[in-house]
């Protein structure tokens, strides 16, 4: 079953003094392009998080965000009272105001007025967060699977359309060959020259063989069957499907260049249109 590279997953964890929100978003990309955002407290776990995301999402442009909101009374930020008092004392000498509130506002903005102590990460807390990251990744994987089902349905429809058009090409081919034969006979007749019939038939056979599309019809049918088989496989391989679609395109283009018959070329144009829609959607397949 195929998966889309577009997805979104979110999970929220409430701890005793903080709330952790985890978001994972992904879009299509040739390889894994991972961007992470998280508080400095958890930066030491970034490599572990990256490995986990790479193992589960494999490919795509992925944005991972971990937000922390303090909900308890504890805080790691402290006012340096001694420094603030010294600032206020000095400000009185240079600022012509007796408003202590204004002096405090100015002092608190000056360097070292506020200090932040670095928290140490608790391993039990991290285990709970890691489990929540897995939950968010499970959600984005399910999102990708759901999107993949929609893409899969469209691919089956497009392949069926190309297959039906190919059947029309096959049914039309004898008429096309006969048309080529008649045009050649007519052209020779207009020359009003006597020709060697045996030599003419040999040249006619050679000419018609140049426009024969039997191999292209067989190969295109095989590529369509292979594409459907790949869609029905257990894994999701957008690159493989892309390679098959390229081969389909080669056969369709060759049929178009060899057809030399307007009604058949119209069918080829329709096949190309269906194939382009497949290729466009394949860019989003994992």
Determine the pLDDT at residue 250. 96
Same domain, 168 and 276: yes
Rounded to whole angstroms, the Cα distance separating 259 from 213 reads 8
Task: Specify if 253 maps to a domain.
Answer: yes
Per-residue pLDDT tens over the stretch 152-204: 999 999 999 999 999 999 999 888 877 777 777 676 666 556 666 676 666 66
User: Is the pLDDT higher at 63 or at 173?
Assistant: 63
pLDDT of 243 strictly over 80: yes
Name beta bridge partners: 33: 61
User: Is the pLDDT higher at 81 or at 241?
Assistant: 241
Contact present, 286 and 5 (Cβ < 8 Å)? yes
* Among the listed residues 183, 226, 173, the one whose alpha carbon sits nearest the alpha carbon of residue 204: 183
Dihedrals phi, psi of 10, to nearest 5 degrees: -140, 145
Average pLDDT, the chain: 87
Task: Specify if 186 maps to a domain.
Answer: yes
Angle at 284 between CA 282 and CA 286, to 5 degrees: 90
How much of the chain is in helix, strand and coil states, percent to nearest 5?
65, 15, 20
Same domain, 276 and 230: yes
Same domain, 38 and 137: yes
> Which pLDDT band, with edges at 50, 70 and 90, does 259 fall under?
confident
* Among the listed residues 140, 141, 133, the one whose alpha carbon sits nearest the alpha carbon of residue 1: 141
User: Which strand (E) or helix (H) includes residue 66?
Assistant: strand 60-70
Contact present, 141 and 56 (Cβ < 8 Å)? yes
Task: Specify if 181 maps to a domain.
Answer: yes
Per-residue pLDDT tens over the stretch 13-54: 998 888 999 999 999 998 999 999 998 889 999 999 999 999
* Among the listed residues 54, 41, 45, the one whose alpha carbon sits nearest the alpha carbon of residue 15: 41
Task: Specify if 2 maps to a domain.
Answer: no
Same domain, 94 and 153: no
Same domain, 96 and 131: no
Task: Specify if 202 maps to a domain.
Answer: yes
Rounded to whole angstroms, the Cα distance separating 286 from 271 reads 25
Instruction: Specify the residue for token string 């506020």.
Output: 114
Name beta bridge partners: 10: 23
Q: pTM for the complete prediction?
A: 0.74
Considering its fold, how many domains does the chain have in total? Answer: 3
Same domain, 131 and 193: no
**Alpha carbon 30 to chain centroid distance?**
7
Same domain, 82 and 174: no
User: Is the pLDDT higher at 239 or at 103?
Assistant: 239
Contact present, 247 and 216 (Cβ < 8 Å)? no
Domain that holds residue 58: 7-73+121-145
Least confident of 74-83, 155-164, 225-234, 235-244: 74-83
Per-residue pLDDT tens over the stretch 222-232: 999 999 999 99
Same domain, 112 and 186: no
């Amino acid at each position: 079953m195929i998966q889309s590279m577009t997805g979104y997953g979110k999970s929220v964890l409430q701890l005793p003094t903080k709330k952790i929100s985890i978001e994972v978003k992904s879009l299509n990309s040739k390889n894994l392009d991972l961007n992470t955002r998280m508080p400095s407290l958890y930066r030491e776990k970034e490599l572990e998080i990256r490995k986990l995301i790479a193992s589960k999402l494999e490919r795509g442009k992925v944005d991972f965000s971990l937000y922390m909101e303090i909900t308890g009374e504890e805080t790691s930020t402290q006012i340096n009272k001694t420094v603030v008092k010294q600032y206020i004392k000095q400000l009185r000498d240079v600022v012509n105001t007796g408003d202590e509130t204004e002096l405090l506002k100015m002092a608190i903005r000056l360097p070292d007025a506020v200090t932040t102590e670095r928290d140490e990460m608790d391993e039990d807390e991290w285990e709970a967060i890691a489990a929540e990251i897995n939950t968010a990744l499970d959600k984005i994987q399910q999102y990708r699977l759901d999107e993949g089902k929609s893409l899969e349905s469209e691919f089956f429809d497009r392949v069926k359309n190309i297959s039906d058009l190919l059947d029309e090409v096959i049914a039309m081919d004898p008429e096309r060959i006969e048309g080529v034969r008649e045009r050649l006979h007519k052209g020779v007749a207009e020359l009003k020259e006597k020709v060697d019939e045996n030599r003419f038939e040999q040249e006619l056979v050679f000419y018609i063989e140049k426009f024969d599309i039997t191999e292209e019809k067989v190969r295109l049918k095989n590529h369509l069957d292979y594409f459907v088989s790949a869609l029905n496989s257990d894994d999701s391989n957008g690159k493989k499907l892309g390679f098959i679609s390229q081969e389909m395109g080669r056969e369709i283009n060759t049929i178009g260049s060899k057809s030399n018959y307007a009604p058949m070329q119209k069918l080829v144009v329709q096949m190309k249109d269906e194939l382009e829609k497949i290729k466009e959607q394949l860019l989003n397949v994992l």
